[in-house]
Amino acid sequence: MPEPNLQDQEKETRATNQDQRTATSDIEQGLAQAEARTVAMREALLNMQTEIARLQRRALQDLAHADRFAIEDFAKALLPFKDNLETALAIDTSALASLKEGVEMTLKQLHAAFERHGLLEISPASGDRFDPLEHQATVAITGDRTEHTIVGVQQTGYRIGDRLLRPAQVVVAQSQDGH
């Protein structure tokens, strides 16, 4: 077997060194690209965190503002009633009919404002079935009426949308034995 020549060994060593330098260069280049992506991702993450913090502050401000002015439209709708009542009281007359007419007009405006703002009356009729979700029994009476039916309304109830604001206070029929 022929002995390897010194020149061939040097060529092989140079080639191996070149391959190692190329591999090292490729690794360093890959590492540099990975570091650049990491820096870009870190910046993107910081930007997103900053944006989220800004959105949270804005949402809290919006909630505070909404809470503070939630009844603004309703309050504006009530102002004419106050004005009408003050005007009625300022009239120097003893005519009961004109006072009653003014109160009726004011009540009509109030009903319209309630309707405009989604405030619905709960006013059951006599003979309606008692509903504990909308009615509050304040008095129970015995008699010849059907049990658990409404005999009378003492105070109208109200709801806003599907939320109960105040139950209607009612008189309810109960059985002869008190149950």
pLDDT (tens digit per residue) in 81-121: 777 777 777 776 667 777 777 778 888 888 888 888 888 88
pTM confidence score: 0.53
Which of helix, strand or coil describes residue 95? coil
Q: Is the pLDDT of residue 78 over 80?
A: no
pLDDT per residue as tens digits for the range 8-39 = 777 777 767 777 777 788 888 989 999 999 99
Contacts of 135 (CB under 8 A, 6+ apart): 122, 124, 150, 157, 167, 168, 169, 170, 172
What percent of the chain lies above the pLDDT cut of 90? 34
Enter the tokens of residue 23.
């591999």
CATH class of 121-179: mainly beta
**CA dihedral in degrees (85, 86, 92, 97; nearest 10)?**
0
Domain residues of the chain, as ranges?
A: 1-69, 71-117, 121-179
Which of helix, strand or coil describes residue 157? strand
Strand ranges for 31-142 from DSSP E: 119-122, 135-142
pLDDT at 167: 93
If residue 92 lies in a helix (H) or strand (E), which one and from where to where? none
**Mean pLDDT, rounded, of the chain:** 83
DSSP 129: B
